Amino acid sequence: MSLVFSGVCSHAPGITGRAARAPADQKDALYAVFDDMRARLHAARPDAVIVIAAEHFANFFMNNMPAYALGMSESYEGPIEDPEWLAIPKRKARGDLSLSQRLISEVQQTVDVAFCEEWRFDHGIMVPLHFLDPHNELIVIPANINCQGPPLTPLHRAWAFGEALRRAADAVPERIALVGTGGISHWPATPDSGRINEAWDRDFLDRWSRGDKDAMLAYTDTETYAEGGQGGFEIRTFIAAAAAAGGKGTVHHYQPIPIFAVGCTIGTLEIV
């Protein structure tokens, strides 16, 4: 029928896996806004939710690294990580093969997306689902943008991917929600883990909130790496979510939490 929801959130594994080590008030505030986001998402009554992730070598490796990928299966399992390490139990999430096929065929008209008849969710999708779909009720369509192994896809193609998903969502009879998930600046899983460039993050979120396409696409990867770390490459997921929505964004939460290794962010976008 149409795109009925577009939002963004962080997915760092520390959010669940190292929850006890964060300042309690910061953790509680973040979790509360995740609860709000869940309410907003479910209020949109989606038939399926596309999660645009930036997965971390769980399914995709440099033997065959797609710039863009979409899942095409009846179900997906996760987390691929040790459930105790991530503090998220294993689940089998429902997919929708037919819906995936229709979305992929439409996306392929403009963006050369790989399709995947199997896909094991890592923390990049499991952390969002843990908060947004705690009872494992939603139909999930995983999407991925390679933000890990260079050469990375240019930002303007991430925008094109978001536009293609919007066109595809509008072309199917189902009500489609979309969640983009990534860090802004962060240096995850390195000795610099916990470093967060709040000024750079706030500047990016300002561009994102204004729906300012040109400003969002103006970053070079060299700049992003210098200011936002290798985790900053994941801005592609936020850019795609903005392109799909087409409207202005609202940042409901932004709080650097070093032990979570990211400036924890939650936002939603106006669908126009």
Partner 1 sequence: MSLYQLSKLLYELNRDDTLKTRFRADPRDIVSGYTLSEEEREAILRPDIGLLYVLGVNGQILMHFAALCGIEWSDYLQRMRDGVKQHGPVRAGIYAMTTSVDEKISGA
253 touching partner 1, by CB under 8 A: no
* Spacing of C-alpha 88 from chain mean position: 18
Residues 192-227 as b or e (16 or more Cβ within 10 Å = b): ebbbbbeebbeebbebbeebebeebbebebeebeeb
Answer for which of 20, 24, 25, 64 binds its own copies (CB under 8 A) is 64
Nearest CA to 258 out of 7, 8, 20, 22 is that of 22
CB 103 to its own copies: min, Å: 10
Residues 157-216 interacting with partner 1 (rule: CB under 8 A): 187-195
Answer for which of 11, 27, 56, 157 binds partner 1 (CB under 8 A) is 56
How many residues sit in the footprint of its own copies (CB under 8 A)? 30
* Residue placing its CB nearer to partner 1 in the complex, 200 or 208: 200
Measure the CA–CA gap between 125 and 52, rounded to whole angstroms.
Answer: 8
Measure the CA–CA gap between 162 and 157, rounded to whole angstroms.
Answer: 9
* Residue placing its CB nearer to partner 1 in the complex, 45 or 90: 90
* Spacing of C-alpha 169 from chain mean position: 17
Answer for which of 16, 59, 255, 268 binds its own copies (CB under 8 A) is 59
Answer for which of 113, 165, 177, 196 binds its own copies (CB under 8 A) is 113
Measure the CA–CA gap between 69 and 60, rounded to whole angstroms.
Answer: 9
E strands in 73-228 = 75-78, 91-94, 114-116, 140-145, 175-181
* Residue placing its CB nearer to its own copies in the complex, 130 or 157: 157
Handedness of CA 197, 203, 209, 211 (dihedral sign): negative
Nearest CA to 155 out of 222, 240, 267 is that of 240
Site string for its own copies, 143-182 (x = CB under 8 A): --------x-xx-xx---x---------------------
Say which residue the tokens 């500047």 belong to.
Answer: 203
CB 108 to its own copies: min, Å: 6
CB 51 to partner 1: min, Å: 18
Nearest CA to 125 out of 40, 5, 13, 259 is that of 13
Contact residues for partner 1, defined by CB under 8 A: 18, 21, 56-58, 61-63, 73-74, 80-82, 85, 117-118, 120, 148-150, 187-195, 225, 229-230, 258-259, 261
Contact residues for its own copies, defined by CB under 8 A: 59-60, 62-69, 72, 101, 104-105, 108-109, 111-118, 151, 153-154, 156-157, 161
